[in-house]
């Protein structure tokens, strides 16, 4: 099972959309505090619809706490600062695909630490800053599932 990690997410509708994505794909969603909203936020509930009840969501007080609970699993940073394209990376079951906050991304001190096995990026046109968080999560997650022949879907 793949994991999506949102490190200090800020925008409730993005998290709601990702919650819905995870419910529909069977991926687990991990939220690392502090969150920029509550899980009862109206905009989050609206974006997640009734899928929120079907999503596997865990909230962690810190990134270190999440890492400790994950054992030896690989953590993959997803960032505009990475060089390896997301479609050229080999995903494994139980990878933790980690996305930073919408307004600032993963802190470089964390991203370039030994907390991550690898870092990947989604290519964009020159001069572009970033892709919407929920869109980026869908792009990367579906590439990982594609490489696994969508085995967990059936």
Predicted local distance difference test score (pLDDT) of residue 61 = 98
pTM: 0.95
Q: Where are the domains of the chain?
A: 3-153
Predicted local distance difference test score (pLDDT) of residue 41 = 81
Contact 106, 9 (CB under 8 A): no
Copy the structure tokens of residue 143.
């590439």
Number of Cβ within 10 Å of residue 152's Cβ equals 13
Predicted local distance difference test score (pLDDT) of residue 121 = 97
Out of 3.40.1280.10, 3.40.50.720, 2.130.10.10, 3.90.870.10, select the CATH number for domain 3-153. 3.40.1280.10
113 secondary structure, DSSP code = S
Determine the Cα–Cα distance for residues 24 and 54; give it in Å rounded to an integer: 8
Determine the Cα–Cα distance for residues 154 and 146; give it in Å rounded to an integer: 13
Q: What is the pLDDT of residues 127-154, one digit of tens each?
A: 898 899 999 999 999 999 999 999 887 7
Ranges assigned E (strand) in 2-142 = 3-7, 28-32, 56-60, 75-78, 84-85, 96-99, 118-121
Q: Which residue has the tokens 């940073």?
A: 77
Per-residue pLDDT of the chain (154 residues; tens, 9 = 90+): 999 999 999 999 999 999 999 999 999 999 999 999 888 888 878 877 777 888 899 999 999 999 999 999 999 999 999 999 999 999 999 999 999 999 999 999 999 999 999 999 999 999 898 899 999 999 999 999 999 999 887 7
Predicted local distance difference test score (pLDDT) of residue 113 = 93
**Angle in degrees, CA 77, 22, 31, rounded to 5:** 55
């Amino acid at each position: 099972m793949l994991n999506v990690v949102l490190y200090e997410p800020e925008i409730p509708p993005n998290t709601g959309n990702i919650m819905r994505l995870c419910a529909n794909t069977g991926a687990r969603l991990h939220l690392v505090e502090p969150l920029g909203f509550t899980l009862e936020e109206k905009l989050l509930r609206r974006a997640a619809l009734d899928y929120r009840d079907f999503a596997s969501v865990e909230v962690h007080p810190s990134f270190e706490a999440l890492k400790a609970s994950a054992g030896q699993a690989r953590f993959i940073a997803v960032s505009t600062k990475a060089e390896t394209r997301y479609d050229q990376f080999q995903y494994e079951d139980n990878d933790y695909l980690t996305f930073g906050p919408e307004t600032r991304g993963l802190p470089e001190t964390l991203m370039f630490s030994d907390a991550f096995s690898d870092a990947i990026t989604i290519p964009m046109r020159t001069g572009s800053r970033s892709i919407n968080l929920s869109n980026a999560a869908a792009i990367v997650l579906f590439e990982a599932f594609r490489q696994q022949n969508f085995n967990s879907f059936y």
